[in-house]
Amino acid sequence: MKRNKDNMVHVMARPGADLVKLSSSNSPMMVPCGSIGRLIAEKVLDGNGQALVPRSHIQGAIDTTEGVNALLDNFDLTDPDTQSPLLFALLRDQGSKE
């Protein structure tokens, strides 16, 4: 997890997430999130349950409501600096720009 934290999201597996299945070639993440969903799961598996993932990967995975649901069912997304939930961090950052 030693990547530049700018434009990154800290992704952690939720309890019960089957990372082996989610990162496999026939991943259930493929339909709702596309191939990027499987790649996110693979990074988290390789990182022993957590990984820094580029925000662009998250954006690609949540292109649909089903993608949002699949990602949030299996992973917690947090700001890498504050460890606050990603949505909270995004809202906080938006408020500071106004």
pLDDT digits (tens, 9 = 90+) for 37-87: 999 999 999 999 999 999 999 999 999 999 999 999 999 999 898 888 877
Domain count across the chain: 1
Contacts for 43 with CB less than 8 Å, ≥ 6 apart: 11, 51, 53
Instruction: Quote the pLDDT of residue 87.
Output: 74
Q: Does residue 33 form part of some domain?
A: yes
Please tell me the distance from the alpha carbon of residue 37 to that of residue 23, in angstroms, as a whole number: 8
Q: Does residue 3 form part of some domain?
A: no
Q: Does residue 46 form part of some domain?
A: yes
Domain extent, residue 52, equals 8-97
Q: Does residue 24 form part of some domain?
A: yes
Q: Does residue 2 form part of some domain?
A: no
pTM of this prediction?
0.83
Q: Does residue 79 form part of some domain?
A: yes
